[in-house]
Structure formats: structure tokens, C-alpha cells
Amino acid sequence: MKVYDKLYINGAWVAPVGKGMIDATCASTEEVVTRIPEGVKEDADRAVAAARAAFDTWSRTSIAERAAVLEKIAAGMEARKKDVALAIATEVGMPFKMANAIQASLPIGAAKTYAELLKTYAFEEQIGSSLVVREPIGVVAAITPWNFPINQIMLKVAPALAAGCTVVLKPSEVAPTTAFILAEVLHEIGLPPGVFNLVTGFGPVVGEALAAHPDVDMVSFTGSTRAGRRVAEVAAQTVKRVALELGGKSPHVILEDADLEKAVKAGVNECYLNSGQACIAPTRMLAPKSKYEEVVKLAKAAAESFTVGDPINGDVKLGPLISAVQRDRVVGYIEKGIAEGARLVTGGPEKPEGLDKGYYVKPTVFADVNNDMTIAREEIFGPVLTIIPFDDEQDAVRIANDTIYGLGGNVWAGTKEHGIEVAKRIRTGQISVNGGRYNPLAPFGGYKQSGLGREAGKFGLEEFLEVKSLQL
């Protein structure tokens, strides 16, 4: 078991004020594998004070200096890549090979992206008789989730540092190891004291203390919509900027002229990525009634091709969920789907065979789902796909938009042009056409109750900047 008994504040590993400890478990064995400090409000206050004191100097560093720091972060995380992947496979449950290729690689790419972006981004522009400048917003509280822990951390920390902000990070207590790895890397590269601070603890204590703190200028939060509402409510008392990346119930729209086999396989693969523990997962597959049973058949075959098992030592496509709480929640949704009359095509609420230990759930597909069912409306966060029929394109767009969420989505069509035409009608922050690949430079964020603001690329940098006009 790995024990972290200190917080990282003002450039040093320090004993917390809080005396409690929090245990994180291995998703495949249910054993405690990590123990971290249960920080309290006083710990958050110390970290904010350090970040505030460091801001004036850090905000005035040159672009070249900040770019060099980001390049060192990328190199440091590259050196720790296997450690990151193993932590993800252990705590989150994503199979190691996948964790290495995705979860350990994306944050390295993000640090490199912002190092390069700094070299070309225009922080000043002349508009008539005014000089418009973009300046760092100040002290940033970054509150991050457990499903893609280090990726979501880096999508906040890298642009915040690039902008000239200082940071206090409160990572998820359920999957904390990668946050400590990042802190170790930042310490090793000699980041000035107070520029980055790490405080662990529970959201209602440390998270709320940061959101409420008058010396925090911005809160960047990724997590559930329910928790995001609370963060916004608390932060509003001091009128600070809030960026929220929240839940989703993304549609995967398969049009009449689409290549069904490719479209269905892609939809199932994306829905089950990270055992379905992804806010952008396309969990609602919308299929034309004329081809509905063919889509169901293809989805069943694709789901049943997913091997389930040990994410660390096994050659599997699907690992466990992160915790007993999450497993029970997902099983509850599967039982609800059956009770509400959806047709269980494959999977179900029972444990996968031969996997008595670990938080495993069978890859599950429901057909004959209407968009009013609970499993079609609420974010499940597990390997559960619902297949919903539609009459025509107008009906498909209506169903796709009939949700409180608007984070992601996919459209599959016979041509790219046809797919773009329909994709533009779906109210969501990011949408792929015919399997368009993830672009780390493109903005990511949601419409409606999926959030506020954007992450990644130039748009992600601008979240951490204030705009000032100098009248000349």
C-alpha cells in the first residue's frame, strides 16, 4: 500500500492540519492500495495563501519561461508514464495497455500543446485607439474527477500555468495517486514555491472551502452536474469566475444512409471506454426504425466481444468500475431499465462469471428504449448502452436534443456533408461525424446542464485570462 501523509503547499511537502486519512481501493481486488490525507479548511486556506503570494511574480514571468516549464512538465510526466498507467489501472480500472495509450499519454500531449501555443498566442492586440491585453485571472482552484484523473488535472493546470495563474488542486479522493505523481514532477523541475499546491480531502470540506475563498479568483470544476451546481452556488457569493465540465447523456445518431456495421461498432466501443465511466460516452444509440433490429443485432455482437477481467495483468477490453458505490449504482440502473420495460439484449445486473472480487459489471445493451425511460435520461456512468428508435431525421434530432445535457455526441451518415448537416442541429459542445477523431486543440465543453466554458487548446487557455482594454 502506498501512503501519502503530506500535502504539497508552497513548494514543500507539509504535514496537514487535518489528522484524518482517506483510503482508496484497487478496483479489481477491492483492497486498500492508497492512503492520503483528509485535508480540512485550514489546509485549503494555507494553500490559497501560498498561491496568492506567488501570483505576482509568476504572472510576470516571460512567455518563454512558462513555455519552458510546460516542456519540463511534459518530459517529467513522460518519465513517469508507466507509473501513471499503473495507478489508473489499479484505482480506476481501465486496462493497463489502454491506460498507457490514453490516460497516461493525453496529459503529456496537453503540456506540450500549451508550451507550443504560448509561442504564437496573441496576448495583446490593437483595436482602434485601444490596446487590448489578456492577463492571468489570478489564483485558480482546480477540482477534478476520478474517471480520467490526470487528464482532467492537466487540462486545468497546464493552461492555468501557461496563462500565468497559480493553482490549488483538489483531486478526487477516490483516484488520487496521479495527482501526487504530478506534484512530485513539479517539485523535481523546480517550479517556484506556491505556483502549484495540492490539497486532498472531501469535496464538501476542501472543495467548498476553495470555492468560497475570497482570494480564489476562479474555480475550474469537472464532475457531476449535481456537484457542479453546488460549486457554482458557493462561488457566486464572491462573484468569481466558474468553469464547469459536467455530466452528459450523449447521442450516437445512426442515419439511414450510414454504414451500419462501422457505426454500431464505433458506438459500442466509445460507450464502453473506461467501463463507461466517461462524461462524453455516447450512451444513447439512435437508430432508424427501418434498420432497428439489424442495429440491435450488431450492438449485441459488439458488446459480447468485450472481454471482462483484470485490468492490470489481463489482456482484456473492459475492467471493473472504480468502487462498490459506483458498481451498485450502475446495477441499480440496469434493474431499473428492466423494471421499466426495456428489452435486455445482453448483459444484466448479475456479476460477470468468474469475477467474485472486484467492482465488475457486465457490458449491457438495452433495446426498445424510449427517451422517457430513466436509463435514457440519467447519466449511468457504466457500460450500459440504450438503443432508441426514430422515425426520420427530424425525429432523430428531436430525440438527440431531448435531454438536460449537451456535452458530446456522434453522427454517422452516408457522406461527411450529410453528417455535418445533421450534427449542426444537435445542441452539444462537441460532436464527431463518421468517427472523426479526438482533436486536443479543439474546444471541449457543454451546452445546457453539461457545463460552462471550454477546455483544451486556445479556448482552454482563454478561460484563465482576463481581458483589459487600455485607452490610448
Residues marked active site are found at 245, 279
Nearest CA to 136 among 47, 215, 49, 56?
56
Strand partners, 384: 364
Which residues, in sequence order, are CB contacts of 73 under 8 Å at separation 6+?
111, 158, 185, 186, 189
By CB atoms closer than 10 A (0-12, 13-18, 19+), residue 9 is buried
- 308 in Cβ contact with 275 (< 8 Å): no
Q: Is 445 left (phi over 0), alpha (psi -120 to 50) or beta?
A: left
Which residues, in sequence order, are CB contacts of 226 under 8 Å at separation 6+?
none
Angstrom distance (rounded) from CA 438 to CA 266: 13
Strand partners, 21: 37
- 333 in Cβ contact with 384 (< 8 Å): yes
Nearest CA to 282 among 380, 372, 385?
385
Nearest CA to 446 among 454, 436, 438?
454
Percentage helix, strand, coil for the chain under 3-state DSSP, each rounded to 5 = 40, 20, 35
Angstrom distance (rounded) from CA 245 to CA 352: 32
Give, as one character, the DSSP assignment of residue 352. P
User: Residue 244: what residue type?
Assistant: L
Which residues, in sequence order, are CB contacts of 251 under 8 Å at separation 6+?
282, 284, 285, 286, 399, 400, 403, 409, 410, 426, 428
Angstrom distance (rounded) from CA 467 to CA 280: 30
Strand partners, 196: 167
CA dihedral 402, 404, 405, 410 (to 10 degrees): 0
